Amino acid sequence: PAGVHPSAAVAASAVVGEGAAVAACAVVGEGATVGARTVVGPCCVIAAGATVGDDTVLHPNVVVEAGCRVGARCVVHAGAVVGSDGFGFATVRGEHRKVPQVGIVVVEDDVELGANVCIDRAALGETRIGHGTKVDNLVQIGHNVQIGPHSLIVAQVGISGSTKLGHHVVMAGQSGSAGHLTIADGTQVAAQSAVMHDTPPGAVVAGSPARPLREHQRAMAGLYRLEELRARVRAL
């Protein structure tokens, strides 16, 4: 039901829209905004200055970190974290020193984030998830990643920092990418593939490192014939 549960903690400066529901033990921080008709599940945290748009559903234990923005009509499943620190360290005399991550995450409208998805805030600027993109469970999206609209990011994908995905990109389960790449519009990455170089629009790639699908299939076919070839060589 709409309204704020008595055990929820909503800051005096926060704004909770008309018809929104804030469930038991949820926290809405200073200056945060919860949109109209939005559902904030039990034990969620919407940190200071964060924004969640209209008609969005946050399942239990979702965290939207300070200053981050989640759009309208989004669904964020249990345990997801929007705006955890990017993995940024500088090694000085053998010690790894943290580089402050002062950017934000922007999740555009109509996005779905699966359970335990982690999206890192940008070092500077924004990490952005495009309109209508769907992200499966247990996905890691690094700092300053840009994902275009209507992409599909399947379970256990890892996308390294500053990589740019175009629109309608598909990354199948357990695939990943190195950082600072461009995965162009309409690219399809097969399961358990590792993208190490930029892809052209409409590419279909597979393998580790990822290669064009037909090339990868030919290589695998040759690999599985090696034992037969060895036997013929021994016979010679």
Q: Are strands 204-206 and 211-212 parallel, antiparallel or unpaired?
A: antiparallel
Q: Catalytic one among 59, 77, 96, 143?
A: 143
Task: Say whether the peptide bond before residue 209 is cis (omega within 30 degrees of 0).
Answer: yes
User: Active-site residue 143, yes or no?
Assistant: yes
Name the token pair of 26: 């949820």
Beta-carbon contacts of residue 148 (< 8 Å; ≥ 6 apart): 130, 133, 164, 165, 166, 167, 168, 169, 185
Residue appearing with tokens 């990868």: 216
Q: 123, 124, 163: which is closest to 140 by C-alpha?
A: 163
Chain CA centroid to CA 193, Å: 17
Q: Which residues are catalytic?
A: 143
